[in-house]
Amino acid sequence: MNYRIGEVLLTEEKISRRVREMALEIAETYKGQDLMVIGILKGAVIFMSDLVRSVSPDVRISMDFMAVSSYGDSTKTSGIVRIVKDLDCSVKDKNVLIVEDIVDTGLTLSYLVKLMQEREPKSVRVCALLDKEERRQVPVKVDFRGFSIPDRFVVGYGLDYSGQWRNLPSIYLVEQEN
């Protein structure tokens, strides 16, 4: 089955404005504190980069990354979470902010939150650029949400289909070719 880029769902300007607003919310929440921001590779890299650069210096940020897989080359999650790359440092007694590109069924995020909590951080919160609430299979709390979107497959601004289209500055719907 072949796919192509469809219409723009979120423009570069709209994304940029919302990321700055989210950075203000995060700065207010963690003002004067240390914050470990954990980006979920590869999809969250562009979003996380823009986000942390927009947070005021009143928050002392450190960063680390995890890579997990639940999609493979499909447009639907398999529901099985596999850690491809774990953290390089401990989260014990730290404020942790998990940064995700998109929350879909909630299975991956639920697993990651539970995993972080087992590592005894001071706090764990979640920041996601996109949220497909109607697809939720398990409840997860998204503390900082960029946009709620419909149940459609999207690419751009870090999100991909089979490794393609991450570099697009806007977020596009993906459509099947006939």
Write out the catalytic residue numbers: 104
Dihedral sign, Cα of residue 34, residue 38, residue 44, residue 45: positive
**Residue 88 CB burial class (10 angstroms; 0-12, 13-18, ≥19):** exposed
Q: Is-contact 76 174, C-beta < 8 A?
A: no
Of 110, 144, 112, 139, the residue nearest 126 (C-alpha): 144
- The beta strands (E) that lie in the chain are given as 3-10, 34-41, 60-69, 82-85, 95-103, 123-131, 144-148, 154-155, 171-176
